[in-house]
Amino acid sequence: MQYLNSLKYSLYVITHPVDGFWDLKREKRGSLSAAATILVLVILTSIIKKQNTSFLFNFNRLDELNVVVDIVTVFLVYILWCVANWCLTSLMDGEGKMTDIMIATAYALVPIVLINLPLVPVSHVITAEEGTFYTVFTVISYLWAGMLLIFGTMVTHQYSMKKTILTMICTVVGMAIILFIGLLFFSVIQRIITFIATIYQELRFRT
Amino acid sequence: MGKLKNYLIRTVSAIVLTTVVLSSELETVIFADAPYETYSYDWWGEDIKQPAAYTYSGAYSLTDTPLNDARDMFVQDGKIYIADTGNSRIVILNEDGTVFKIITSFQNGGTEDTFSGPQGLFVTPENEIYVADSKNGRIIHLDASGTLIREIARPETDLISQNQAYTPLKLVVDKSGRIYVIANGINMGLVEFDREGVFQGFMGAAKVSVSTFEYIWKNYFSTDAQKERMELIVPTEYSNIYLDSDNFIYATISNISNEDHLAGADAIRRLNPTGTDILRRLGNTPIIGDLYNASDTAAWSKFTDVCACDYGVYFVLDSAGGKVFTYDGDGNSLFIFGGTGNRQGMLMQPASIGIREDQEKIYILDSQLNQVLCFSITEYGRHLLNAIYKNSLGDSAGAYEEWQNVLRYNANSEFAYIGIGKAYLREGRYKEAMEYFQLGNNRKYYTRAFQFYRKELMQNYFGKFMGVILVLVGALIIWQIVKKIRRWVGEAKCNI
């Protein structure tokens, strides 16, 4: 029941961002399980949107679609955002814990699901001339989510608006740095493994 | 055991026999083994292979004095006119490759006169020959028998400075007798003469586009020494011109920089008599030849010549890759064939392209092989061009049939799907039309078909649908009223 209530509370959060995000954290109205559900819904939305949108509005190559790539992309971006945000805000006197950030970020993504999912069947009954509505609603969904992310960060960490925007820009840079280090790490590990394997091989051949 | 073996042998031989009979009965489609691939670009910009539209069918060369660095060719009424630049003569071949006539000299005011490195020629519908006598700096006008009619000398104008050489390279003469000339080093457009041979001006100069960054860099951040070493920003020169049956001039541009190529700069224009570019660019890809390069250092397509059919399809010759790019009147890439190399049917340095009036044969003049190579149309190419031709006439039933034939050869043809879709759209078979437009990746027509389809559905089902809803709503309202009355009656009863 707690789970359903916290999930239902997301509808309140997206319409009353400041109040909603405050209660989400202080009153413990949100839950990690609800956040995970929202994330799964976002992944599902992106897949359904790519696969089932009408031909008129669908510019994806359906024969080259890879569901795994979609899942990993959304999940990776979400995790990267949360980690980078947490790293930065713990240095910049942010009050949010890791769980707070994860919950707030997931709740901010709800409009993407709520608007884009109904747009998929709608795309099958409108012509290209009426496509403006389709585009407008898509843009609204992303703008809304972006706005919620700003308020979410602001309320969770008790920041001013200026500091929030600055933190968010830094977070994006941080995501890039983490990605870079990660790739570097993989590359180095790969070389070390090859190095050890070569030495082993060399020793085997000598004896 | 023996019975079973017999039975087996009989079945196997029966199967083998039927296969043999069947395969010999199947329509045999034989393509000569072309040394090149034929392909075109689809909606995604990917090169998709297709059956050969034209195949190599022989080459013509002169036996006694071979052609020498010939630069231009004109095909008309079963004759192939060649400007044999290196030998300073005009060669006229018959369609079978035999020599019809060779013009080396002509009588000019009582004395014997000759050409000097003629690089271009044009033949009017009356078979009069105009020759760009390049090194002599003049245009020679001969009649059909090869006698001189007149000589058009250097234009008298202040627009070309006196110390600048005037070297006419290519020329066309339109139906009203105006002469348009490409001259070496003149980048103000085509030199235009009126029918009397009097200089009229320049026409169709290429527009110069300078990027903002380049402008600022050149004007504010470069020293004089740097500026001197920089390339001047000047309009590009045309490499060749062709006059189509509607009196419009196709002009090709060959010296396009790498950056311009990537930005999708235009490499071909269709000029109307006022010099405005009216080429339709409605295709999926820019009209620049090949979209991708095999490597960074490989040359981009370099358009050197063009020829067109009277229904808007035009063939552009690319001297870098030895290819022929075919586009329809809207700028869609139809097919691309040819290549450079030493094998028979490949080109070394293509200079000029010509097409027979019925499109059955394409002739390509190669100035290094010193040959005219012939390419004959295949069944597939004939169906494809026929479909476009019939479509241009408005004969949708005929076009539909031809598109079906095209699909039999090439199931990847987006044009065929779109063509068939259009036919269905006209017939009112909207759902099928939508399917075909989707296969052809055409959203413009898809939405049109979909609009009609939706309207049709609404007309058929809207009444029933609304009827059901009205009945339901009505029932709901009556139910509410009944409930209210009951309650009221109940209350009234209680009050009694």
Q: Do B450 and A129 make contact, defined as CB atoms within 8 angstroms?
A: no
State the Cα–Cα distance between residues B358 and B355, nearest whole angstrom.
8
Judged against a pLDDT cut of 90, whether residue B224 lies above it is answered with no
Q: Do B443 and A128 make contact, defined as CB atoms within 8 angstroms?
A: yes
Judged against a pLDDT cut of 90, whether residue B24 lies above it is answered with no
- The sheet with strand B249-252 has its strands ordered as B240-243, B249-252, B268-271
For B75-84, what is the mean pLDDT?
92
- Kindly tell me the burial class for residue B315, based on how many C-beta atoms sit within 10 Å of its own C-beta (0-12, 13-18, 19 or more): buried
Q: Do A128 and B438 make contact, defined as CB atoms within 8 angstroms?
A: no
Q: What is the pTM of this model?
A: 0.80
Residue B343's CB is within 10 A of a number of other CB atoms, namely: 11
pLDDT in the model for residue B25: 45
State the Cα–Cα distance between residues B252 and B307, nearest whole angstrom.
10
B233-267 tens-digit pLDDT: 666 788 999 999 889 999 998 877 777 777 767 78
Judged against a pLDDT cut of 80, whether residue B470 lies above it is answered with yes
> Which percentage of chain B shows pLDDT scores above 70?
90
A125 touches chain B (CB under 8 A): yes
Complete DSSP assignment for A74-98? HHHHHHHHHHHHHHHHHHTT----H
**CA–CA min distance A59, chain B (Å):** 10
Question: Domain coordinates of chain A in residue numbers?
Answer: 2-182
For B442-461, what is the mean pLDDT?
92
Q: Do A125 and B446 make contact, defined as CB atoms within 8 angstroms?
A: no
HSE at residue A116, side-chain half, CA atoms within 13 A, is: 26
pLDDT in the model for residue A26: 86
Helices (H) and strands (E) in chain B, counts: 9, 27
Judged against a pLDDT cut of 50, whether residue A16 lies above it is answered with yes
Chain-wide mean pLDDT for chain A?
A: 93
Chain-wide mean pLDDT for chain B?
A: 86
What distances in angstroms separate CA B368 from CA B326, B345, B350, B361, one per listed residue? 23, 14, 8, 21
Name the residue with higher pLDDT: B224 or A167. A167
Judged against a pLDDT cut of 60, whether residue A82 lies above it is answered with yes
For A79-87, what is the mean pLDDT?
95
pLDDT in the model for residue B297: 67
**CA–CA min distance A125, chain B (Å):** 8
**CA–CA min distance B438, chain A (Å):** 7
> Which percentage of chain A shows pLDDT scores above 90?
85
If we measure between CA atoms, which residue out of B304, B69, B272 comes closest to residue B190? B272
Pairing relation of β-strands B371-377 and B323-327? unpaired
pLDDT in the model for residue B108: 86
Chain B residues with a Cβ under 8 Å from any Cβ in chain A: 44, 438, 443-444, 446-447, 450-451, 454
What are the φ/ψ torsions at residue B133 (nearest 5 degrees)?
Answer: -85, 85
Judged against a pLDDT cut of 80, whether residue A207 lies above it is answered with no
Complete DSSP assignment for B94-159? ETTS-EEEEE-EEEETTEEEE-SS--EEEE-TT--EEEEETTTTEEEEE-TTS-EEEEE-S---SS
For B358-368, what is the mean pLDDT?
93
Residue B462: pLDDT band with limits 50, 70, 90: confident
- For helices A2-15 and A98-108, the axis angle rounded to 10 degrees is 60
Superfamily of domain B38-377: TolB, C-terminal domain (2.120.10.30)
Q: Which residues of A touch B447 (CB under 8 A)?
A: 56, 127-129
pLDDT in the model for residue A166: 94
Question: Domain coordinates of chain B in residue numbers?
Answer: 38-377, 378-464
Residue B276's CB is within 10 A of a number of other CB atoms, namely: 11
Q: Do B447 and A56 make contact, defined as CB atoms within 8 angstroms?
A: yes
For A142-151, what is the mean pLDDT?
95
Facing residue for B446 by CB, picked from A55, A61, A129: A55
What distances in angstroms separate CA B100 from CA B81, B145, B229, B369, one per listed residue? 10, 11, 51, 21
**CA–CA min distance A140, chain B (Å):** 24
B387-417 tens-digit pLDDT: 999 999 988 889 999 999 999 999 999 999 9
Fold of the B378-464 domain:
1.25.40
> Which percentage of chain B shows pLDDT scores above 90?
51
pLDDT in the model for residue B6: 61
CA–centroid distance for B294 within its chain:
22
A171 three-state secondary structure = helix
Residue A202: pLDDT band with limits 50, 70, 90: very high
Judged against a pLDDT cut of 60, whether residue B27 lies above it is answered with no
What distances in angstroms separate CA A120 from CA A14, A49, A62, B293, one per listed residue? 21, 6, 15, 38
pLDDT in the model for residue B494: 81
Q: Do A56 and B444 make contact, defined as CB atoms within 8 angstroms?
A: no
Judged against a pLDDT cut of 60, whether residue B14 lies above it is answered with no
